[in-house]
Each structure stands twice: as C-alpha cells, then as structure tokens.
Structure 1
Amino acid sequence: MEQKYTTSTAFLEALRDAGVSHLFVNLGSDHPALIESLALVNQEPNDFPKVITCPHEMVALSAAHGYAQATERPQAVIVHVECGTQNLGGAIHNAAKGSVPVLIFAGASPYTQENELLGSRNEFIHWIQDVRDQRGIVRGYVKYDNEIRTGSKRPFAFLC
C-alpha cells in the first residue's frame, strides 16, 4: 500500500528545514498522526529531528532550553493538549526571558467530529480535553501563536 503524504510528515519536514535537530516530547492520545509519521520516517536513516521522550512537559521544555543554548540551534517541544500546555509552567518563563530559540507545539482534539476528515473525534477524551483558548495559556510568553486545524487543501464547510 502506498503511503500518503500527511500534514504530520510536512510538519516534521518543516522542523528539519528550520534546523531543529531534536524533539523533546511528551506524546499522548492527541498525537497519533505524528507518532505514525515518526514511525514511517524512521524506517530508514534520515536527517529528521530525533525524538527525546520526557516524563513531564516542564522537563521537556527545560531540556530543549538547555540543548538550544548549548548548540545555538532551535529545538522543539511537543506536549499534550490542555493540561500538557499548562505543565510547561515556569519553564516557559525561563525560555522566554532568556530569549532561547525553542518552538513549542501542543496537541489538540480532532477538528471534525462527523468523519468529515480522517482522524475525526472518536474517543470520549476528545470532547472533554478542549479548552476555549489553549494558546492563551502561553500567549504572554511567546512571540507567535497559531493553530493548524486541518491539513486539507479543500475548503471546509459545515452544513447547518
């Protein structure tokens, strides 16, 4: 079966192209597409960022912070939706005030819930882990915040 090119693979390529060498992660139920892309790209030697699994989000950001300072290269952190974002805690303050080049990404619940796209909501946690403004948790400490809701190229409309 031919593998499809996915948003997660494009995400990994963008990180690689930005010079990120390591992903400091605490992955979970909000990252299956990313985990699948990591498994696919790591079937052969490559120059994609290496994954460092961390037991807590604050540990992930602190490790990325130190590695970015030591290498003078941007690093990336990937955390859980909602509580994972909150768990960045004081580490986000430290990275912001130190002007350390760290990219922070948090998972999110699937955007669709009626199978309009692959990966629609299908577990109870998808409905209870959303918060109204997840990016607001860190907005005061970042230079830029945004959200990728879908990798679909086609216009997306909900019928009422």
Structure 2
Amino acid sequence: MRMRRITLTIVSTLAAIVLLFSYRTSTGGALPGTGTAAAAPGVVPDTGVVPDTATATAAPSGSPSGSPATRATTVNGTVAETRWGPVQVQVTIIGQKITDVRPLQRPTGNARDDQINEYALPKLRQQVLKAQSARIDGVSGATVTSEGYRESLQAALDAAHFG
C-alpha cells in the first residue's frame, strides 16, 4: 500500500512538471502549419531575397547620363523563434545603405505583447538605420523581441551579402 502511494506521488509530480514546462503564456500568433503572422503584401515571408518588383531607383543628380541606377535589394530574415513568439524582419538595401527595416512577424499572443512591440519595433528600426548593421543595443523591456529582431536582421544582411 505504501509503495503504491509513493509511485502515485512520483507519477503525479512528473506529470505536473511536464505540464508546467509545456505551458506557454503567449502563443505568438499562429500555430505551426496554420499560417504566419501578417506579412507584407506581395511578399513571401520566407528567408531570402525577395523578387525585385520595383524598378531601379533614379540615378543621383549630377551623375553622368546613362549611368546605371542603383537597385533596391529586399531580403527577408529567418524566423527567430523566441520565448514569446516568432520574430522576422525584412530589410531593404540600396547600394551599400540600409534604407528600411520592417517586421514581418512579431509576438502577438496578447495585449501586452502588442503594447511592447508598438513601443519597441520603431525604436529597433531607428537603431538599425543609424547603425547600418545588426549591431544594435535593443530596447529595454523588450529584450526577447530585440534579440529575435537582431537575429533575423543579421540573417537577412548575410543573405544580402551586406557589410
């Protein structure tokens, strides 16, 4: 009888531990295989160079006529699976300059995630445009999102052979 109680206690404890570690407080948007968070129109939220749908940008004024215009390269970073959900960015590079960074996926499991990301994502974008690299400080209070942002951004810059 006593051995039975000990076995039941151990099994119950193990079940509780497994449930505790599998509990997620934030779903991070869509479940795997059910789609992804909102992506930019006309953009496949995969990794890699996005097909150039726009024409070349205008040549700088004062450049000789007939000189080639600089093309914009748009690259999607890998999806960084963070504790609170996926983070993925898209970077646009013209010449040797990062001209835009925008999130394709971000944690969206609850109102708190949305509040943090509304604050953090514009600040992360500003840091990237200023640093012209993935060497950014991140945003206090959004450490996990900042790390995922940095990881996805670095993957995009590597795919674009930038830097």
Class of the TM-score when normalised by the shorter of the 2 chains:
under 0.3
**Higher percent of residues as strand:** 2
What's the TM-score, normalizing by structure 1?
Answer: 0.27
Q: Which has the larger radius of gyration?
A: 2
What's the TM-score, normalizing by structure 2?
Answer: 0.26
